[in-house]
Amino acid sequence: MNNMKIQVNKNQQENNFKKHVCNIIEIAKQKAKIGIDRFYYSIPRGQGFSHWGLIDKVEEETEGSVYGGYKCIQDGEIKFSIRD
């Protein structure tokens, strides 16, 4: 039984990670549509994944058109920028 609980938790963490990636990409699309080239996203805490991994996955999924500032993390938020 314990293995099942661990598996469920791991699946939930993966689902949460994917949800955050999709949310960031959707925000980027909306911002780009109205001509805004940067935005902030609150760092998810206690989710079982790092914000560095989140930044990397967003950059990978958008082929680098949306990127997170590794040095622009402040007040618990990640600054994302959108390339033209």
pTM: 0.84
Cα-based distances in Å from 56 to 5, 8, 48, 60, 84: 28, 24, 16, 6, 19
As a whole number of angstroms, the distance between CA 42 and CA 60 comes to 19
pLDDT of residue 47: 85
Average pLDDT (51-78) is 88
Q: Tell me the pairing of strands 38-42 and 66-74.
A: unpaired
pLDDT digits (tens, 9 = 90+) for 69-78: 876 666 789 9
pLDDT of residue 69: 80
Average pLDDT (42-49) is 88
Q: Which domain holds residue 46?
A: 2-82
Give me the number of domains the chain comprises. 1
As a whole number of angstroms, the distance between CA 32 and CA 66 comes to 10
State the chain's maximal CA–CA distance in angstroms.
Answer: 51
pLDDT digits (tens, 9 = 90+) for 4-41: 665 657 788 899 999 999 999 999 999 999 999 999 99
